[in-house]
Amino acid sequence: MRKLLAIVSLWIPAAVIAVTWGMWAERLPSDLPTHWGSSGPADAVASAPVVFGWTLGIATTIALVGTILLIVPLAGVWVQRAIGGVAAASAAFVLGIWLGSAASSLGVADPYSVELGGWLLLTFVLPAYGVIPLLLLPKGHRRPVEVMYTEALTSTPLSSTPNGRYSTRVVSWLFIATAVVMLVVLALLCIPSITGGGAGSLGFAMILLCVAFLLVVALCAFRVTVDERGFRVTSVLLGIPIKRIAPGDIDTVEVTVLEPTQWGGWGYRVMPGRSAIVLRRGPGMVITMRNQNQFAITLEEPEEPASILLGLIESDPSARESHADSA
């Protein structure tokens, strides 16, 4: 029931846009302001139906995407809460843009004479609406995954590996496809600026989408490395570290069959007490830290990096001391 209410809250901004258009259409000028200069009055306008259509379309798209991501169990509880909050805040911001343009133009003959005034403050206050789904959606609980079907491992000295390190590259077609879809959406959002319809009202949505696009691109391809510094996962395209685990922080390393449902779905998942990069059901490695947090990753041949990590733990003084203390 709480999730249903959270989903309904995502659609309220789009519903308000539609209802206010029905109430105000006859009182609005043919053009609505879309940008205001530093002098005060509007310096750019667009057709009222176009402004209504774009704001309603964006708010509806945000609500639809948010609804799908909340209904389909492809993410952990905490990720779902973040999705709900961001979606509601983004839709509410679009609602603020519509209200700032339409409500300030009621009964006005010349849209270029409209001043934004206090509506500007409302535009930036409305995103606080994103708190509502956060309060409605259930919170996650710290529950370690019980690793099943583990394979026996023997430690391998790091010195026996080529160049004294293990390194492999993993490509995620899931994130590549997602990045392509987001790129198409970004191109569609740029149409108003290209056609002269005014893109000022879409700036915030485009910024959010660009940030999300960069996050997805970071996971299109990543490199898994095991060396004297421990375990690392790095984005190949952006060169940024995604996960780092020092040898002294590792308690156990296990090779098993990763079930996406156990780790919150497919992709990069962050949940209370555990995180994972799961690309499919299949072989993978699970690292349990001394604080009992877990990290799992899908790999074609996880036995090699797992055995090297075991050897690294056995040869690392800080790791041996950590295990002695825990014992």
Neighbour count for residue 146 (Cβ, 10 Å): 6
| Segment holding 311, helix H or strand E | helix 303-315
Q: How many CA atoms lie within 13 A of 52 on its CB side?
A: 20
Are the C-beta atoms of 12 and 29 separated by less than 8 Å? no
CA separation for the pair 155, 6 (Å, rounded): 49
Record the pTM. 0.54
DSSP assignment of 267-291, as one string?
A: EEEEETTEEEEE-SSEEEEEEEETT
Calculate the dihedral angle through the C-alpha atoms of 146, 147, 153, 156, rounding to the nearest 10 degrees.
-90
**In sequence order, which residues have a C-beta less than 8 Å from that of residue 171 and are 6 or more positions away?**
220, 221
Tens digits of pLDDT across the chain (327 residues): 777 888 889 999 999 999 999 998 888 888 888 777 666 677 777 888 888 888 898 889 888 888 877 776 555 566 677 778 888 988 898 888 888 888 888 887 777 777 766 767 777 788 888 888 878 776 655 555 655 555 566 777 777 777 778 888 888 777 788 778 777 776 766 665 555 444 444 555 566 667 777 777 777 888 999 988 889 999 888 888 889 998 888 888 888 888 887 777 777 777 778 888 888 888 899 999 988 889 999 888 888 888 888 888 877 655 555 554 544
Please check whether residue 304 is in contact with residue 241, taking contact to mean a CB–CB distance below 8 angstroms. no
